[in-house]
Amino acid sequence: MTRFSTPIAEQIWNMKYRFKAPDGTPHDKTVEDSWRRIARALAQVENDKDLWEDRFYGALEDFKFLPAGRITAGAGTGRKVTLFNCFVMGTVPDDMGGIFDNLREAALTMQQGGGIGYDFSTIRPKGADVKGVGADASGPLSFMDVWDAMCRTIMSAGSRRGAMMATMRCDHPDIEGFIAAKADAVRLRMFNLSVLVTDEFMAAVKANGPWDLVFDGKVYHTIQARDLWNRIMQATYDFAEPGVIFIDRINAANNLSYCETIAATNPCGEQPLPPYGACLLGSINMAKLVRDPFEERAHLCETALNDLVGKAVRMMDNVVDASKFPLEAQAAEARAKRRIGLGVTGLADALLMVGLRYGSDEAAKQTEDWLHAIARAAYLASVDLAKEKGAFPLFDAEAYLASGTMQGMDEDVRAAVAEHGIRNALLTSIAPTGTISLYAGNVSSGIEPVFAYAYTRKVLQKDGSRTEEEVVDYAVRMWRDKFGDKELPDYFVNAQTLAPLDHVKMQAAAQKWVDSSISKTINCPEDIAFEDFKEVYMQAYETGCKGCTTYRPNDVTGSVLSVSESSEKVPGEAPKQVHGDFPAEGGEIVYMSEPLDRPTELEGATYKLKWPDSNHAIYITVNDIVLNGHRRPFEVFINSKNMEHFAWTVALTRMISAVFRRGGDVSFVVEELKAVFDPRGGAWMKGKYVPSILAAIGGILEQHMVQIGFLEGEGMGLKNDPQAQVVNLGGAPKGPACPACGEYGMHMVEGCMTCGSCGHSKCG
């Protein structure tokens, strides 16, 4: 017997959360071992370790409480990784030395697995004077390019890609360039972008008034506020970015407004944080708490909810003490305020089980009531912890109770905080739970609607064959088990049929009792009128949301889920869907069930790479494996006598080999490497400009794949060729990105790479 209700749940656990030795031998024999490992690790800070280990295990059992992936994968393993999901880095100083000190801190944080956020509003705009050097500033976007390049070379701990959020104030002189950045198909791919929108700006938009773009007290430009708003709206309509963060509302509501100012969020936006702020995440699985689902007496058990929330808060508070931190400043910030982010997943499934249509007024009211109950239980549990272990160090009763969130809190909770203090400064946040929700049996993610009732996926086996499996939403599967082929009721809606303003209604209902923020995507139909699209954002502002992110599928953004033409359907449902979060072949999901085994001997080839201006060559060996008569890359070794390259070549070797050994379509490795540009400039090799040494390595891997028949030819079989996009962006040929201004205008002039936009020259 197994606790997993679906094959995909077990495979997610095996791939992402199961503790294994470096050689792949599992320490966690079963998922119960994983729950026990986490419970034991988080009970170590308790006086009665055995008691709390058992209680924590009970909360984790059967996927009732779902700590975020960092905790699930890292707790109790002894690995040097952080258990925190979210970081906002220190304030970026407006000087070169400080900027690159912050870049180093970002790299260290991402290396341990943290997603990071940055406010780039503190860097002077492009063209501003740089005193003492007689030059003009290159502006914040040029430094964001440097961060982007760094992120491309670092993989977060485990299998998660590096993630970054960049914010910029709506009154920064470079805000128009920031808004338009994602119009460039290859720029800032590792960033999510959001504009910090102030209440003053929104008032100016409504009044169609002027808006000053200011830095350090100097007005650089004055534009119409509505024109700038329309630029933001047009960019996100076309490219799904930037998002919008209502920063004044965030600071006004913050429980800690008396001792911190927030200007950035983590990559998904659910955690607005101060400089060096850190937060951990976890979710209550609402679908597990519904009693008598689909019956007239269906209800969510509040007794079970209160008990589970209390245990979850204690576990998460213990993570603050149990976790490692990439930087001491992050550890100090976390321990001074003891922020946690307790949220929910499976909300849409729970609403279906009690007979409510997601997006209806009744569902919004029920969501508000459930989130209110969670907030009460969490705050009272934290008060109990304060009685036992003490309040968070920066607690100031008068200032804390005067904050925006606490002024709206229930009087009995306010009284308890006033008398005993509170252990955690902020307690609630709703994160994206895509992978965790699959691990829990494909419950609906976060507070999102059910996206697809069912979809099919194909699993690639070690022998090259594929098996086909259906993945069904948790609530739909329960309906099937109870009623067989009976048609789904009308209140079963999914994201394909939900009106955008219904999304906003649900987000606003949840936000009333979430003291941090919410990660939610408002799905819009491709043919939504631009004026209707803008109304989504205005409604989000008017109804109390702290931010807004939309997704409109089009030729540029693609589709989160692509509709397959399968004739097999769940009764009463839309066509089956395919999730876009995983590698797909021919519109179908393809997973590797296990890594490929390594034979004793492999055939391969070694290539010599001589990078200009380097004293030593780099040697790249690619070994292949043969499956079903077809040769495919299996492992890579990179060697050089230049010790400067030692660390990153070893890391690159291990990461690429790990990807190759998973099988499937690995051509994306070539794609990613070829897209990396070096801010110091690339080199011309064999008549072609190569933007970085990593891009050159990607070219050699592509060459090898072509030679063994894995790819048909250069640039073929890849999702896209980044350099081809650079060359063909709108008419006249363009070159690689300029390290000074970021424009794609570098070209050869008198033997030297020179930027046609700003005049920057590699030769000085």
Q: Is the pLDDT of residue 53 over 90?
A: yes
pLDDT of 152 above 50: yes
Least confident of 34-43, 387-396, 573-582, 617-626: 573-582
Average pLDDT over residues 247-260: 97
What pLDDT score was predicted for residue 213?
Answer: 98
* Active-site hit among 86, 151, 170, 268: 268
Query: With 0-12 CB in 10 A as exposed, 13-18 as middle and 19+ as buried, what is 719?
Result: exposed
pLDDT tens digits along 353-381: 999 999 999 999 999 999 999 999 999 99
- Tell the residue number behind the tokens 């040494």, with chain if given: 693
User: pLDDT tens digits for 735-755?
Assistant: 454 444 344 445 443 334 444
With 80 as the cut, is the pLDDT of residue 105 above it?
yes
Q: How far is CA 183 from CA 241, 492, 651, in A?
A: 9, 37, 32
> Would you place residue 464 in the very low, low, confident or very high pLDDT band (cuts 50, 70, 90)?
low
Q: pLDDT value at position 462? A: 57
> Is the pLDDT score of 576 beyond 50?
no
What is the CA angle 346-348-353, rounded to 5? Answer: 95
Q: Which of 53, 241, 270, 573 is catalytic?
A: 270
What Rg do the C-alpha atoms of the chain give, in angstroms?
26
Average pLDDT over residues 283-296: 97
Structural domains in the chain plus CATH codes: 86-265 (3.20.70.20), 603-727 (no CATH)
The answer to whether the beta carbons of residues 306 and 377 sit under 8 Å apart is yes
User: What's the pLDDT at 156?
Assistant: 40
Q: Which of 401-415, 418-432, 562-576 has the lowest mean pLDDT?
A: 562-576
Catalytic annotation present for 268:
yes
> Please, which residues bridge with residue 591 across strands?
459
The confidence band for 36, taking pLDDT boundaries of 50, 70 and 90, is very high
Please give the model's pTM, rounded to 2 decimal places.
0.76
Residue 570 in this model has a pLDDT that exceeds 50: no
Please tell me the distance from the alpha carbon of residue 321 to that of residue 389, in angstroms, as a whole number.
12
Mean pLDDT within 586-601: 58
Count of residues in the chain: 764
Helices (H) and strands (E) in the chain, counts: 25, 33
- Could you tell me the pLDDT band of residue 147, with boundaries at 50, 70 and 90? confident
Q: In this structure, are residues 391 and 383 in contact, taking their beta carbons and an 8 Å threshold? A: no
Which pLDDT band, with edges at 50, 70 and 90, does 330 fall under? very high
Band of the pLDDT at 159, cuts 50, 70, 90? very low
Residues 521-551 have pLDDT tens digits of 999 999 999 999 999 999 999 999 999 999 8
Question: Would you give the distance in Å from CA 487 to the centre of its chain?
Answer: 36
Strands of 550-617 (E only): list them: 550-551, 561-563, 577-579, 584-585, 588-592, 603-609
* Stretch 599-610: mean pLDDT: 86
- Overall average pLDDT of the 233-261 stretch: 96
How much is the mean pLDDT over the chain? 84
DSSP string, 307-351: HHHHHHHHHHHHHHHH-B-SSHHHHHHHHHH---EEEEE-HHHHH
Task: Check pLDDT > 90 for residue 507.
Answer: yes
User: For residue 594, what pLDDT is reported?
Assistant: 58
Token pair, residue 447, equals: 């507070």
CA 115 to chain centre: 7
In this prediction, residue 291 has a pLDDT band, given cuts at 50, 70 and 90, of very high
- Only one residue has tokens 């303003």, namely 501
Q: What are phi and psi of 244, to 5 degrees?
A: -125, 130
Percentage of the chain lying above the pLDDT 70 cut: 83
User: Which band of pLDDT confidence, cut at 50, 70 and 90, is reported for residue 711?
Assistant: confident
Q: Is 126 helix (H, G, I), strand (E, B) or coil?
A: coil
Q: Which residue has the higher pLDDT, 210 or 600?
A: 210
The larger pLDDT score, comparing residue 724 to residue 362, is at: 362
Among residues 102, 192, 255, 266, the one annotated as catalytic is: 266
Beta strands in 102-253 (DSSP E): 115-119, 129-130, 135-136, 164-169, 191-197, 210-215, 218-224, 243-246
pLDDT per residue as tens digits for the range 622-652: 998 887 677 889 899 888 877 666 777 778 8
